[in-house]
Amino acid sequence: EDLFSPNVNITERQKLEETLDNVLSENEALKTKVRDLQNKLESFQNENEAKKVAFSAGLLESGTGHTGPTNIPKTLVYKKVFSNIGGVSTAPMKGAYYFRFYGTTMAVSLLKNGATQCSLHAWKPVSNGNASNSVVLTLEIASYTSFNGFLIFPLETSESCMSYPVQYVM
């Protein structure tokens, strides 16, 4: 046999070239899609990294004392900072958040967007009376509360994970 004679007819060659063109075109489209997904992943990772926030604080530097009494609502200023990671507390995503507060001889309310979510009142004339309250709230974009809390689990959203402020004063 002659080694140099063509064994593939022209029709088969055209089909192979067409298939190759299709594969190359699809490969380019997949490369573009992978690049876009890598960019989105990097953006989400950067956003998530930038929003690591945790804090714990007390009203007094040490010992016991009083804040108030007052007849008007008042923003509490925390004087003892146990931990403050990330500065101003903003929730990194839409989700269900847990908030808790407790103390003795007090009346306090937890607010979300200016509306009372839960309250407590404790009066300790002689005994060791204490009070606490907690609530699970869904925070949306631009929601804020008057106490610290933590994310229990994220909620699905079609919106971008911007920031969800959780206000506190230190």
- Helix/strand/coil for 149: strand
Burial (0-12, 13-18, 19+ Cβ within 10 Å), 66: exposed
Amino acid identity, position 54: A
pLDDT digits 0-9 by tens, 24-65: 999 999 999 999 999 999 988 877 665 555 666 777 777 766
How many distinct helices (H) and strands (E) make up the chain? 1, 9
The per-residue pLDDT for range 58-71, each reduced to its tens digit, is: 777 777 666 666 77
Between 17 and 132, the higher pLDDT residue: 17
State how far the Cα of 165 lies from the Cα of 141, in Å rounded to an integer: 8
What residue spans define the domains of the chain? 1-50, 53-165
Question: Given this model, what pLDDT does residue 166 score?
Answer: 39
pLDDT band at 149 (very low <50, low <70, confident <90, very high): low
CATH of 53-165, one of 2.60.120.10, 3.40.640.10, 2.160.10.10, 2.60.120.40: 2.60.120.40
* Tens digits of residue pLDDT in 76-91: 677 777 776 655 555 5
